[in-house]
Amino acid sequence: MLVIGMFPWLALLPVALRVPPRQTGFDARKLLWIWVLMIFVFFSVSHSKLPLYLLPVFPAVALLIGDAIARMRACALGIGIAIAAALLLIAIPLALLWHVPSDLLAWAAVFHGYTRHLAWVMTLVALALAVAAWLAWRGRKLAGVGVAAFAGLGLMQAALIGFQALAPAYSAAPLSAAMRPWLKPDAPIYMVDTLQRGLPFYLRHQVTLVGEAPYDLRDGLRWQPQLLWSLAAFQHAWRAQPDALAVITPLRFAALLMRGLPMRVIASSPRWVLVRRPPVAADAHAQASVDNRAPPFATSVACPHVSLSAAPPSTATACLPVSPSQPPAASSNTGGG
């Protein structure tokens, strides 16, 4: 993240590292380098590593690079910007050849559309950087810096805007929208073998994790062990909680379904299945039952090990989710809200 966030000034780092002649009094550069190194080293050693943790580094890096630009000759600045343009051109085919991550296979077409969008943006930014390098080489240092700065800003903003196409794959907003009509104030929510990080924020509701704790939450969960349950404890509690909701990975959902855990699918995606506790009268079936109305983002392959056609209609174990915005009238007044 640090390298990407410093673009297109990455090639100027050697100048920023160069120590000017000794000065008397306070040396602000030393303070800034201590600032950068302390944060970078601390979070490099830490077990919890998230890109956002490096954000406090950027103000200090910006000041150091700004000081380096002020001390550089115009032609040297032009060479540095030209190197950034060349690196960006090299990265274009890498973006086009970027393999779809395993958790985004269902969004492969959207992902490839995003990489093509990114490749076009990178091409335009590389051309803008070439213009900036030419301006700096001709002695128009301030103009070259301005064009390069706006080009780098444009690249970052265009990448972030284009990334919104993949929001349904990563954001917890669609999941929270599907869950909200069924959620009661005191209803327990479980996340089984998955962690949707934005879900507690969107729902303003406490969530209990089931399974193995994520690496960056292990230390915190030692202080609140009640928020991390074993799978056996979850299955036992689930049968006694008529208003419970759970977000489960598709593979774990299929496994629990085979074990006879009573579940009713509300919505699903390739990454998760949202279920609620079915009415008590349906417990004898020990299977999931759903309405035949599926939301646009749902998928019918959430439980690939269950055959829909082999079972009679009265006992079929269906995997098509119901509409999250309109709970079925027949079941809205019984268990699960």
**141 and 214, same domain (yes or no):** no
pLDDT at 281: 56
List of residues 6+ apart from 30 with CB closer than 8 A: none
Express each pLDDT in 206-233 by its tens digit: 888 998 877 767 777 778 878 888 889 9
CA-CA distance, 270 to 23, in Å (whole number)?
Answer: 61
- Bigger pLDDT: 172 or 130? 130
Q: For the whole model, what pTM was predicted?
A: 0.64
Average pLDDT over residues 309-331: 36
**Mean of the pLDDT values across residues 23-28?**
73
Same domain, 210 and 277: yes
Residues 176 and 319 in one domain: yes
Q: What is the pLDDT of residue 298?
A: 38
Within this chain, do residues 42 and 58 fall inside the same structural domain, yes or no? yes
Per-residue pLDDT at 19: 67
Q: Is the pLDDT of residue 16 over 90?
A: no
Average pLDDT of the segment spanning 307-329: 35
Asked if 197 and 300 sit in the same domain, the reply is yes
Contact, 320 vs 300, CB < 8 A? yes
| Whether residue 238 sits in one domain with residue 110 | no
pLDDT in tens, 67-94: 889 888 888 899 999 999 999 999 888 8
pLDDT attached to residue 247: 93
- The pLDDT value given to residue 248: 93
pLDDT at residue number 324: 41
Asked whether residue 53 falls in the same domain as residue 85, the answer is yes
pLDDT at position 103, please?
A: 64
Among 32-46, 102-116, 246-260, 305-319, the range scoring the smallest mean pLDDT is 305-319
- pLDDT-derived band at 47 (thresholds 50, 70, 90) equals low
Domain boundary among 168, 198, 214: 168
Shared-domain flag, residues 7 and 43: yes
Please say whether the beta carbons of 312 and 284 come within 8 A: no
Q: Which residue has the higher pLDDT, 288 or 251?
A: 251
- Which DSSP symbol is given to 275? E
Domain that holds residue 16: 2-168
pLDDT level of residue 116 (50, 70, 90 thresholds):
confident
Task: Determine the pLDDT at residue 143.
Answer: 93
What beta strand segments (E) does the chain contain? 189-192, 208-210, 228-229, 245-248, 264-268, 273-276
pLDDT category of residue 252 using cuts at 50, 70 and 90: very high
In the predicted structure, residue 183 carries a pLDDT above the cut 50: yes
What mean pLDDT is reported for the chain?
77
Query: Are both 246 and 143 inside the same structural domain?
Result: no
Identify the domain boundary among 168, 184, 209: 168
pLDDT band of 274, cuts 50, 70, 90: very high
- The verdict on 188 and 246 lying in the same domain is yes
Does residue 159 share a domain with residue 188?
A: no
| Pairwise CA distance, residues 180 & 337, whole Å | 10
In three-state secondary structure terms, 105 is helix
Number of domains in the chain: 2
Residue where one domain finishes, among candidates 168, 201, 225: 168
Cβ contacts of 184 within 8 Å, gap of 6 or more: 243, 337
301-335 in b/e form (b: 16+ CB < 10 A) is ebbeebeeeeeeeeebbbbbbbbbeebeeebeeeb
Same domain (yes/no): 272, 325: yes
Distance between CA atoms of 84 and 90, rounded to whole angstroms?
10
How many CA atoms lie within 13 Å of 337's alpha carbon, on the beta-carbon side?
21
pLDDT bucket at 134, cuts 50 / 70 / 90: very high
